[in-house]
């Protein structure tokens, strides 16, 4: 019996999916922020960039941080997760949501789970992570996969 191994998806495909997920989630988040619906004082990625660099920065810098973070985790999922199911993508999103509540929000000065700003940050931060998981799964599943002869 001949055993074949599946080739990992290309880096280009992985990065492309990551950038697409990043762009789509950023569009939603920035739109909600500009519409005054978002409870965040500023985009979380911008808050992180400003904390890291110690100064005020324009929104595009925050979006670059967002793109790097989302593209990294999307690439990890697309290239290395053996089971790329919807529950797996949502599981990754849930873990990353937990990290934002426990690590990220305190680092940027918003307190544990964002409670220094208010409890509304808990569900508000869940929404983009849910969107991340859905988009990641959908794009990985339906965006051009190389055909194998």
Question: What digits encode the pLDDT tens for the residues 28-71?
Answer: 999 998 999 999 999 999 999 999 999 999 999 999 999 999 99
Task: Establish if 4 belongs to a structural domain.
Answer: no
Task: Establish if 146 belongs to a structural domain.
Answer: no
Question: What does the block give as tokens for 77?
Answer: 């999922």
Lowest mean pLDDT among 15-24, 83-92, 139-148: 139-148
Question: What does the block give as tokens for 67?
Answer: 């793109």
Residue whose C-alpha is closest to residue 65's, from 57, 54, 77: 57
Task: Establish if 43 belongs to a structural domain.
Answer: yes
- The total number of structural domains in the chain stands at 1
| Predicted local confidence at residue 9, as pLDDT | 75
Enclosing domain of residue 20: 11-141
Lowest mean pLDDT among 57-66, 112-121, 138-147: 138-147
Residue whose C-alpha is closest to residue 30's, from 69, 72, 71, 58: 58
pTM as predicted:
0.87
């Amino acid at each position: 019996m001949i055993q074949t191994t599946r080739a990992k998806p290309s880096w280009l495909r992985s990065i492309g999916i990551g950038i697409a997920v990043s762009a789509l989630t950023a569009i939603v988040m920035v739109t909600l922020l500009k519409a005054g619906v978002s409870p965040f004082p500023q985009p979380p990625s911008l808050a992180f960039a400003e904390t890291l660099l110690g100064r005020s920065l324009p929104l595009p810098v925050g979006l670059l941080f967002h793109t790097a973070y989302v593209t990294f985790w999307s690439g990890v999922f697309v290239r290395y997760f053996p089971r790329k199911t919807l529950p797996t993508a949502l599981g990754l999103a849930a873990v990353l949501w937990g990290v934002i509540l426990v690590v990220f929000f305190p680092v940027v000065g918003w307190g544990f789970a964002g409670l220094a700003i208010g409890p509304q940050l808990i569900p508000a931060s869940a929404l983009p992570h849910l969107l991340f998981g859905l988009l990641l799964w959908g794009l990985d599943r339906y965006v051009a996969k190389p055909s194998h002869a």
